Amino acid sequence: QRSNEVKLEFYTTVTNGRLTSTWQNAVNSFEGQRVAVTIQKAKKKRSNPQNAYFHGCVVPIVTNAMLDAGIRTSNSETKEMLKRKFLSEDVPFADGQYLERTKSTSELSTSEFNDFIAQVQQFAAEWLSVEIPDPNEQLVLL
């Protein structure tokens, strides 16, 4: 997004076929300009507690397990590897070709983020022989 571009994002409810917010003034600020309008069902983005759990528990456990397996990595590198493994998608390009794109965790809804964490937990159990506790579980170290 260029610095001279303005983007307004609104969250509202549709009641009886009408938007129930006072967004008209903001729309008026675009008078005489060509605009793009997108309407979609709002998804609840991943939560701050989910993000804290992922960065404070999941990533460090996977990083330590990888280090124990002889794979030298940092928490930030581990996060990027997990994103590439589980959040990559093919985006159509020209002439039937595809480009690979890796989603950011900030793009995920709360349920998509839960699915991502479940995939990482399964990967860690199967490939690294380590258990990642659920957010509501306490890990007992022996």
Output phi, psi for 91, to 5 deg. -110, 125
Residue range 54-105, pLDDT digits in tens: 999 999 999 999 999 999 999 999 999 999 999 999 988 888 889 999 999 9
Whether this model's pTM surpasses 0.85: no
| One-letter identity of residue 105 | T
Amino acid 27: pLDDT? 75
Half-sphere exposure of 99 (CA within 13 A, CB side): 5
Q: pLDDT tens digits for 100-109?
A: 999 999 999 9
Residue 47 and residue 106 in contact, taking contact as beta carbons nearer than 8 Å:
no
Share of the chain above pLDDT 90, in %: 51
- For the stretch 18-29, pLDDT in tens is 776 666 767 777
